Amino acid sequence: MKRRVSLALLIATALLLTQMLAPSPVFADGPTTMPVAASPTPAPTNPPANFTPASTTLTSVSAPASAASTTTASNSASSSSSANTTANAAPDPYLLFNGTTYRFLSDCGIFSNCTKSATPIQAAINFFAQNAATIVANDRAVFVDGGTYRENISINGLSNFSLRGSANGSRSVIDGSVTIANSIGINLSAFTVQQGVAVSKSQNVAVTSVTTNQIKISQSQNVTVSNSQVTTNDATKPAIEVEASEKVHVENVNLDSFIRVDNSAHVSIIGSGVNAAFDLLANNVSALDVLSSGNLTLSGDSRVTSPSGLVNLRAGGALTMARGSVIDASGIGNANGGAVNMLASDAVNFYGTILARGGTQSGNGGAVEISAHQVNYDGVIDLRAAHGKTGMLLLDPTDFFIKFSGGNITGAALSSQLNAANVTIQTSSAGGQAGNISVQDSIAWSSANTLTLRAHNDIYIGVFGTTIANTGAGSLVLRADSDADGSGDIEFDCACSQVVFNLSTGTITFFYNPTATLLLTKYENPTDFSAHVLLNSSIVGGNFTAYMLVNTLQNLQDMNTNVNGNYALGTDIDASATNNDAGFTTAGFMPIGDGNITNFGGIFNGDMHTITGLFINRPSTDYVGLFGSTLSDATLKNVGLVSANITGQSLVGALAGQSFSIVSNSYNTGAVSGIKSAGWWGRIILALLAIPTTRVR
C-alpha cells in the first residue's frame, strides 16, 4: 500500500514539475498561467468549405510595446518552447495561437476568469478579445462563438472568419467596432456591434441579425446583409455603405439613414413589412433591384447612377419615387441608354426624374416602364439621344385618364414628356377595370416622337374641344381592343374634339372595331373619322389610315364583304378549320377578291402576326390565294403564312394569286400547287418583297 502511494506521489510530482517548466502565454494584466481546463467543446458543425487544417502548436508571445495589443497566429508547425515576456507591456491583454482552437465557454472581464477548452478542436483560431485587440491570423479560419468583446477588433489575413453568436443562440456584444480585411469568407451573425462593422477585400461576406450603427463593405465579391438593425443617429452618414463589390444583396434591414452603393455590379435591396422608405445613393452600379413586399418609397434625396444599366423598383403594394429623386441610366460615349422598370401591384406614384439618354457620341435612348393597377405621373423622363433614336416610355395601368386635374396625368405633363421620349400608354382589364383610355385634356408636341394609346377596350377623346396636335414629324397611334376580343372602339365626344396634324409631317394610325347594323355587316360599315382628323394637305395621299381589326378566322373571311377596306390583324389567326371544318366546304377558304368581279383594293396590314394552317383546294379555279387578285393601289404587308396548303388552276399563290400592288415584309412556309404561276405569290406585278420561304409543287 505504501509503495502504491509513493508511486502516485511520484507521478503527481512529475506532472507538477512538467507544468511548472512548460511555457505559458503572457497576460499584461493577468496571471501567467492558463485557467483550469474545461471539457472539450465540439467543433463547429459547418466549417468553411475552403478550410484547410494546419498546425495545432501553441506559440508563446511577447507583449507589444505599443498601446494597441496584437494577437498573431503563424503557419509554422513548430514554435519556441519558452515565453518571452516584456516587463513594461501595454495593459491590453492578448493571446497568440498557431493553428490551435481554444473555445471560451463563458463571458469574462479578464482572461483569467475565462473558462476554455484546453484541447484543440480543429485547425482554426477562436479568440476572446478585450480592449482593442488586433488579430493577424496568417491564412487561418477563425470562428467566434458568444462572449462580450470590449472596444475594437481588427482582423486580417484570414481564410474564413465567422461571428456566430453564443452557443445557446443569444446575441453577443462587441463594445466597439469590428474591422476585417483579406478574408475569403466572412460570416457575422447574431451580434451587437456598438461602433460599426468594416469589411474589405473579401470574397463572400454575410451579415445576418446584427445590430450596429454602420456597416461598410468594400472590394468584396458576394455581399449579403440581412435581418439586421442599423441605427446611425446621423442622417448624413450612410447606414450601409458598399463599394467596388460584385453582388450586393440587402434584405429586411431596418435603418434610420440611407444606403450607399458605389462602383458595384449587381445590387439587390429587399425591404420588409408594409412600408419600406429610404434614401438610396447608388453610384456606378451595373444593375439595381429594389423590392418591397409592401409599400416602397424612394425618398427625395435618392441618387442612382447606372450607366447603360438595369434598374428595377418593385413593390407588392404602392411604389413612390419622390420629387427630387433621380435615377440616371444614361449611356456614356457610344453606349445606349439603360432600362428602368417601376412595377407595383397597387399604384406607382412617379414624381422624380429618370434619365436614360444615349451616349454623347452615338447610341440610342433607353427604355422606361411604369406598370401598376394605377399610375400617377408628374415627373420627368428623358430618353433622348444626340446621335441616335429616342427611347420609349411605357405607362401600363388599368384605366387611364388624361385630365387637367384629378386624372393620372395632365395634358401639359404628357405634352412635355413627348418632347423627350416616345410614349406608349397601354391599359389592361386587371382589377375589374374596363381598360379604357380617356383623353380629356389637350395634348400638343413638336418633336418627331410618337404617342401611342393602346387600350384594352375603348379610347375616348373629347370634352370641351379636346385636341391632340403635333407640329413636327411626330406620329399618333390609337389602338382600341388590344386584347383582340372584338370589342373596343375609338370614340370622339363631339365634332370639336380633333386630331390636328395639318402642320405635321407625321402619320396618324387608328385600329378599331366597326359596328354592324341591321342591314350591314361590320366591315360594310367602317367609321368615318374625317370630321375629327385635320390632315396636312401637302402630303400626297394623306397621312392618316384607319384599320378595321381582324381578330378571328371568320373576320378574315368576311373581308370579302368590303374588298376596298383597310384591315389589320389584331392577333395571330388559326386557320386550320378551313380544312373540312363544318363552317367551310371541301374547297376551304374563299380567296379575298375573285379576280373576275372583285379585286382587293384596300390595305391589309398583318401587323407582324401570322395566319397558320390556311387551306384552299380549288384545282379548277384561277386567281387562288389568301387574296385572289389585288388592284394597283392595294397594299399587302407585315404578314406571315405558316403551313399553308394552297391548290388552284392558274395564277395561284399563298399570299396572292395575282397582285398588281405593293407587297412587303411577308412570307409563306407552306405548299402551293397549280398549273402555272404558282408560288408564294402567283403573279406579282409590283412588289417590295421579303425573302419568301415556300415549297412549290
Q: Average pLDDT, stretch 320-342?
A: 97
* 284 in the same domain as 358: yes
What is the arithmetic mean of pLDDT over 562-580? 96
Residues facing 248 on adjacent strands: 223, 267
pLDDT at 311: 94
**604 located within any domain:** yes
Last residue of a domain, one of 523, 551, 579: 551
Residue 248 falls inside a structural domain: no
Residue 443 DSSP SS3: strand
Are 136 and 47 contained in the same domain?
A: yes
Domain-ending residue, one of 495, 528, 551? 551
Selected residue with higher pLDDT from 162 and 585: 585
Q: Find the angle CA(125)-CA(131)-CA(137) to the nearest 5 degrees.
A: 25
- Same domain for 278 and 189: no
Residues 146 and 104 reside in one and the same domain: yes
Give the per-residue pLDDT at 69.
29
Question: Tell me, what amino acid is at 586?
Answer: T
Domain containing residue 659? 559-696
Residues 572 and 461 in one domain: no
The beta-carbon contacts of 458-461 under 8 Å, at least 24 apart in sequence, are 458/434, 458/488, 458/489, 458/490, 458/491, 459/489, 459/490, 459/491, 460/436, 460/491, 460/493, 461/490, 461/491, 461/492, 461/493, 461/497, 461/499, 461/532
Weakest-pLDDT range from 108-117, 140-149, 301-310, 359-368:
108-117
Residue with cell 431596418: 254
Q: Which residues contact 359 (CB under 8 A, 6 or more apart)?
A: 330, 331, 332, 333, 334, 335, 336, 385, 386, 387, 388
Confidence of residue 172 (pLDDT cuts 50, 70, 90): low
Q: Calculate the average pLDDT of the chain.
A: 77
Count of the separate structural domains present in the chain: 4
List, in sequence order, every residue forming a beta bridge with 276; answer none if it has no partner.
Answer: 296
Q: What mean pLDDT is predicted for residues 562-590?
A: 92
> 589 lies in a domain?
yes
Buried/exposed 214-234: b ≥16 CB within 10 Å, e otherwise: bbbbbbbebbbbbebebebee
Q: Same domain for 515 and 462?
A: yes
3-state secondary structure 97-149: CCCCCCCECCCCCCHHHCCEECCCCCCCECCCCCCCEEEECCCCEEEECCCEE
Q: Which of 359-368, 452-461, 488-497, 553-562 has the lowest mean pLDDT?
A: 488-497
Residue 201: predicted pLDDT = 83
569: pLDDT strictly greater than 70: yes
Identity of the residue numbered 45: T
Point out the least confidently predicted range of 10-14, 170-174, 528-532, 653-657.
Answer: 10-14
Q: What is the pLDDT of residues 379-391, one digit of tens each?
A: 999 999 999 999 9
Q: Is the dihedral of CA 111, 114, 119, 125 positive or negative?
A: negative
The mean pLDDT of 397-401, rounded to a whole number, is 96
63 vs 244, higher pLDDT: 244
Per the confidence metrics, is the pTM higher than 0.85?
Answer: no
- Better pLDDT: 569 or 257: 569
Is 364 domain-assigned?
yes
The three three-digit cell numbers of residue 99, written as one number: 493553428
State the pLDDT at residue 174.
67
Cα(486)–Cα(498) distance, integer angstroms: 25
- Predicted confidence at residue 519, as pLDDT, reads 79
586 HSE (CA, 13 A, CB side): 1
Nearest to 132 by CA among 91, 172, 100: 91
Query: Would you state the pLDDT for residue 679?
Result: 52
Amino acid of residue 271: G
- H/E stretch holding 2 reads helix 2-21
pLDDT in tens, 211-224: 888 988 888 888 88
Q: Tell me, yes or no, whether 439 and 306 share the same domain.
A: no
Is 50 exceeded by the pLDDT of residue 403? yes
More confident position, 257 or 60: 257
DSSP class of 590? P
Q: In 10 A of CB 197, how many CB atoms?
A: 28
DSSP β-ladder status, 319-321 and 347-350: parallel
Burial level of 269, CB count in 10 A (0-12/13-18/19+)? buried
Instruction: Mark which of 551, 567, 597 sits at the end of a domain.
Output: 551
pLDDT digit string, tens, across residues 295-329 = 899 989 999 999 999 999 999 999 999 999 999 99
Same domain, 461 and 519: yes
pLDDT for position 476:
98
Closest CA to 185 of 167, 201, 209, 161: 161
Check pLDDT > 60 for residue 88: no
Q: Cell numbers 389589320 correspond to what residue?
A: 568
- Comparison of pLDDT for 457 and 107, the residue scoring more: 457
Helices (H), 362-452: 411-418
Dihedral sign from CA coordinates of 517, 518, 519, 523: positive
Cα separation, 114 vs 112, whole angstroms: 6
Distance of CA 383 to the CA centre of its chain: 18
pLDDT at 483 over 70: yes
pLDDT higher than 50, residue 121: no
pLDDT at 162: 60
- Same domain for 589 and 628, yes or no, is yes
Angle, CA of 682, 688 and 691, to the nearest 5°: 75
pLDDT tens track for 47-84: 333 323 232 222 222 222 332 322 222 222 233 333 33
Residue 545: count of CB within 10 angstroms of its CB: 16
Task: Inform me whether the pLDDT recorded for 159 exceeds 70.
Answer: no
The verdict on residue 652 lying in a domain is yes
Rounded average pLDDT over 357-377: 98
The 3-state DSSP class for residue 188 equals strand
Question: What is residue 481's predicted lDDT score, i.e. its pLDDT?
Answer: 94
Tell me how crowded residue 416 is: count the other CB atoms within 10 A of its CB.
12
Angstrom distance (rounded) from CA 176 to CA 170 = 19
Distance between CA atoms of residues 218 and 198, nearest Å: 8
Q: What is the pLDDT of residue 177?
A: 76
Among candidate residues 257, 287, 284, 256, the one with its CA nearest the CA of residue 269: 287
Same domain for 53 and 190?
A: yes
What is the distance between the alpha carbons of residues 300 and 697, in angstroms, rounded to a whole number? 68
Does the pLDDT value for residue 451 go beyond 80? yes
Q: What kind and span of H or E run contains 509?
A: strand 508-512
- Does 568 lie in the same domain as 613? yes
> What single-letter DSSP state applies at residue 429?
-
- Residue 617 near residue 588 (C-beta atoms within 8 A): yes
Cell numbers linked to 389: 433614336
Structural domain contains residue 243: no
pLDDT the model gives residue 378:
98
Q: CA 478, CA 452: separation in Å to the nearest integer? A: 6
Give the percent of the chain with pLDDT over 70: 70
Report phi then psi at 12, rounded to 5. -65, -40
Cell 418593385 sits at which residue?
A: 314
332-341: average pLDDT: 97
pLDDT at 437: 98
Read off the pLDDT of residues 672-688 as tens digits, 9 standing for 90 and up.
998 765 554 554 444 44
pLDDT at 151 over 70: no
User: Of 123, 127, 152, 154, whose CA–CA distance to 140 is shortest?
Assistant: 123
How far does Cα 681 stand from its chain's mean position? 45
Cα–Cα distance list, 82 to 27, 246, 539 (Å): 15, 46, 101
Please compute the mean of the pLDDT values over residues 420-437 and round it to a whole number: 90
Q: Are 228 and 217 in contact (CB under 8 A)?
A: no
User: Which pLDDT band, with edges at 50, 70 and 90, does 540 fall under?
Assistant: low
Domain presence at residue 445: yes
Q: How far apart are CA 305 and CA 288, in angstroms?
A: 10
Task: For the chain, give the number of residues.
Answer: 697
Return d(Cα 109, Cα 272) in angstroms, integer: 38
Q: Based on the fold, state whether residues 565 and 540 are members of the same structural domain.
A: no
> What is the SS3 assignment for 5?
helix
Asked whether residue 429 is domain-assigned, the answer is yes
Could you read off the pLDDT of 198-210 as tens digits, one per residue?
888 888 888 888 8
Higher pLDDT, 583 or 674: 674
